[in-house]
C-alpha cells in the first residue's frame, strides 16, 4: 500500500479506536464506577459534601475555598489545553519553505484536506481515566 493511501485506512481506524474507547469508558463509568478515576472522584466528592454539611458553621469557609480552588484549577487546565492545542496546530501547519519540519512531522498524504483531518485529530483531548 502506498504511503499516501495508508492515511485512508489509518486515520479512520484511529478515530474508530478513539470512539470505541470512549464508549467503553462511558459504559464502565455507568455500570462499574469504582473502576475509573471519574467514578472514584465522584464518590469521594459525594462523601466529602456530606461530611462538610454536618457542621456548616465550622466548615463554611473551607467549602468556599475548596470550590474556588477547584474552579481555579479547572481554568488553569483549560487554558493549558487550549494553549497546547494552538501550539500543535501552528507547529503542524507551518509551511515555511526554509525549513521542511512540517513535512517531516506529517506522515503520509500531505494534501490540504487530509492535513486538516490529521491536525483536528491531534487536537482532540484524551484523558486516561482508568484505574488499574
Count of domains observed in the chain: 2
Say what the pLDDT of residue 22 is.
Answer: 92
Answer yes or no: do 47 and 74 share one domain.
no
Q: Note whether 43 and 12 are same-domain residues.
A: yes
- To the question of pTM greater than 0.75 for the whole model, the response is no
* Contact call for residues 73 and 83 (beta carbons, < 8 A): no
Which pLDDT does position 82 carry in this prediction?
86
Higher pLDDT, 36 or 86: 36
On whether both 38 and 2 belong to a single domain, the answer is yes
Residue 44 and residue 85 in one domain: no
Q: Which domain covers residue 30, as residue numbers?
A: 1-54
Q: Are residues 1 and 18 in the same domain?
A: yes
Q: What is the pLDDT of residue 98?
A: 41
pLDDT over 50 at 96, yes or no = no
pLDDT above 90: residue 71: yes
Average pLDDT over residues 76-104: 70
87 shares its domain with 112: yes
Helix (H) or strand (E) holding 59: helix 56-93
Amino acid at each position: 500500500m502506498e504511503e499516501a493511501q495508508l492515511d485512508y485506512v489509518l486515520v479512520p481506524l484511529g478515530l474508530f479506536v478513539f470512539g470505541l474507547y470512549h464508549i467503553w469508558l462511558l459504559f464502565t463509568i455507568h455500570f462499574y464506577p469504582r473502576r475509573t478515576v471519574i467514578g472514584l472522584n465522584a464518590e469521594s466528592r459525594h462523601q466529602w459534601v456530606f461530611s462538610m454539611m454536618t457542621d456548616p458553621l465550622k466548615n463554611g469557609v473551607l467549602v468556599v475555598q475548596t470550590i474556588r480552588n477547584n474552579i481555579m484549577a479547572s481554568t488553569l487546565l483549560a487554558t493549558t489545553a487550549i494553549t497546547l492545542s494552538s501550539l500543535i496546530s501552528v507547529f503542524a501547519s507551518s509551511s515555511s519553505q526554509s525549513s521542511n519540519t512540517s513535512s517531516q512531522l506529517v506522515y503520509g498524504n500531505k494534501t490540504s484536506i487530509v492535513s486538516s483531518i490529521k491536525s483536528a485529530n491531534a487536537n482532540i483531548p484524551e484523558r486516561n481515566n482508568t484505574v488499574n
